[in-house]
Structure formats: structure tokens, C-alpha cells
């Protein structure tokens, strides 16, 4: 496959969408294995934290996966992403180190 097409397909794929009910768009209950699949998918450097661009990617896909249409995760504005990230970190970053570790979720 042409590499440019592969990048487009990968960008179009929303990993979080598979964990939502297709009708209601509600997040399904995840098994421990599914949770670890999600964690591993977004913890790209496998350092045990979801931080920086990893967190941006997760939040973008999480929000766009709730939309019934195939909205690109990139349509979330930077300002909205910053606000969402701030709220997310306030809710989950218990030790306030600026990153999310598995124990915090």
C-alpha cells in the first residue's frame, strides 16, 4: 500500500470508537484487558504515563468518538483541547505531576 494512503487511513481510524455503543454513542464498560489495550494504544512510549501529545491524541479521539458521524479528531480546536485537558487533569491528575499514570484512572 502507498505510504501516504496508509497515513490517511490511520488518521481516519478512531481507536476509541470501537468502545462506544454505535447507537447511543455511550462508552461501553471495559474489561480489564480492554482497558489495558486502550492504555497501551495511547501510551505510545510505554513509559507508564499518558502525557503531552499522547494525552492530546486520547482526548481528541475520545471527544470525536462520541459523534455519530466520522468527524476527524483534528476538528477539535486547540483552545477547546486546552480547556478539556485542563479539566481532565484537574479531575484525574491526583499528584499534580502534569501526567496521568494508570493508578490515577
- Structure confidence at residue 12 (pLDDT): 54
Domain-located, residue 10? no
Domain-located, residue 32? no
Number of domains comprising the chain: 1
Domain-located, residue 26? no
pTM for the whole thing? Answer: 0.78
**From the CA atom positions of the chain, what is the Rg in Å?**
14
Q: What string of pLDDT tens digits covers the 105 residues of the chain? A: 444 443 333 445 889 999 999 889 899 999 999 999 999 999 999 999 999 999 999 999 999 888 766 666 667 788 999 999 999 999 999 999 999 999 998
> Strand 49-50 to strand 100-101: parallel, antiparallel, or no bridges (unpaired)?
antiparallel
Beta-carbon contacts of 52 under 8 Å, excluding residues fewer than 6 positions away, are 99
Domain-located, residue 65? yes
Beta-carbon contacts of 73 under 8 Å, excluding residues fewer than 6 positions away, are 14, 57, 60, 61, 63, 64
Domain-located, residue 73? yes
| Domain, as residue range, for 59 | 47-104
Domain-located, residue 42? no
Can you read off the three cell numbers belonging to residue 46?
A: 510505554
- Structure confidence at residue 38 (pLDDT): 96
Domain-located, residue 7? no
Domain-located, residue 56? yes
Amino acid at each position: 500500500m502507498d505510504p501516504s494512503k496508509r497515513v490517511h487511513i490511520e488518521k481516519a481510524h478512531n481507536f476509541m470508537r470501537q468502545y462506544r455503543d454505535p447507537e447511543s454513542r455511550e462508552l461501553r464498560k471495559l474489561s480489564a484487558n480492554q482497558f489495558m489495550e486502550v492504555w497501551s494504544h495511547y501510551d505510545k512510549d510505554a513509559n507508564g504515563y499518558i502525557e503531552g501529545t499522547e494525552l492530546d491524541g486520547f482526548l481528541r479521539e475520545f471527544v470525536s468518538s462520541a459523534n455519530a458521524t466520522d468527524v476527524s479528531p483534528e476538528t477539535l480546536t486547540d483552545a477547546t483541547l486546552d480547556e478539556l485537558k485542563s479539566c481532565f487533569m484537574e479531575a484525574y491528575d491526583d499528584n499534580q505531576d502534569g501526567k496521568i499514570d494508570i493508578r490515577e484512572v
